[in-house]
Amino acid sequence: MIKLTFLGSGCWQGIPAPFGDDEISQKVEWDSKDFRFRTSAHIQTEHGKNIIVEATPDIRLQSWKFKLGKPDAFLISHWHYDHLFGLMELDWYTEKNKLTVYGNSITKEWYDSRMSHINVDFQVFESYKPFEIDNVRITPITINHVEDTDGFFFEDMTTNKKIAYLSDLRGIPIKTAELVKDSDAIITDATYLESDISDDPTHLQKEQIIPFLRKLSAKEIILTNIGSYQDLTHADLEQKFPQYTIAFDGMKREY
Ligand SMILES: [Zn+2]
């Protein structure tokens, strides 16, 4: 069985945004569903291995708030700050503890050039070449965002349940779409669900998100990477999009 916990459900800024003057950032409270760390997830495998998807700059508080056990592996989708640079928070931790990080070759280049003093075993993966941790087969899958971005396709080899974790994106190639079709859950990017920032070509824009979601087939479609730009609360989003699950920090699933 895979136990999945959302450690964060916010876009790159998180909610509240730094010095955020939008309505949500102004009124959000620490323990509400509108408080969102940068998007990340924890997966616990059958025999208790701890996998963390993305190393966000919030990892210090995420590990504390969700009482995480020592991580066996981090999976990094791409080199953007909110996905990779949390490794910088682990300088002292990695002096004392072994840590394996999986990322693609471009992510490795960013790691090498900016944070190679962080002592990790960096394993470079290739898209569509699966590897295994405990009972979970993990396939990095190409998604369209910035050059060389991968999502992750998780298959529990005991239960045969399948989860697709599609990080920041503006679309997915056909090969990825075919692989993730009919998953038990597809977790995907809703950065601009209700707001249009048209000068950001790396994410789906407001009018593109629902048509993209309609093409996906899964038992549950979970929206994450939520931004505060839309001035809608978690409750507002749930009411407006009842056909989708709106992620929140601490949300749990078992597969
Ligand atoms: Zn990104």
Q: What mean pLDDT do residues 89-112 have?
A: 97
pLDDT at 199: 81
Residue at 255 is within a domain:
no
Residue at 151 is within a domain:
yes
Residue 25 scores a pLDDT above 80: yes
Residue at 253 is within a domain:
no
**Ligand 1 center from residue 34 Cα (angstroms):** 21
Structural domain that includes position 191: 3-247
pLDDT at 18: 94
pLDDT at 230: 82
pLDDT at 200: 86
Residue 196 scores a pLDDT above 80: no
Protein residues with C-beta less than 5 angstroms from the ion ligand 1 = 80, 168
Residue at 171 is within a domain:
yes
**Ligand 1 center from residue 46 Cα (angstroms):** 30
Give the chain's domain count: 1
Total length of the chain: 255
Assign 68 a pLDDT band (cuts: 50, 70, 90). very high
Q: Percent of the chain, pLDDT > 90?
A: 92
Q: What sign does the CA torsion over 117, 75, 107, 250 have?
A: negative
**Ligand 1 center from residue 105 Cα (angstroms):** 16
**Ligand 1 center from residue 72 Cα (angstroms):** 24
**Ligand 1 center from residue 147 Cα (angstroms):** 10
218-224 and 162-165 as β-strands: parallel, antiparallel, unpaired? unpaired
Q: What sign does the CA torsion over 4, 248, 239, 18 have?
A: negative
Residue at 199 is within a domain:
yes
Residue at 34 is within a domain:
yes
pLDDT at 71: 97
Residue at 28 is within a domain:
yes
Q: What mean pLDDT do residues 206-213 have?
A: 92
Residue at 252 is within a domain:
no
Which domain CATH number covers 79? 3.60.15.10
**Ligand 1 center from residue 47 Cα (angstroms):** 31
**Ligand 1 center from residue 219 Cα (angstroms):** 26
141-179 pLDDT, tens digit per residue, is: 999 999 899 999 999 999 999 999 998 999 999 999 999
Q: Tokens at residue 223, please?
A: 């929206």
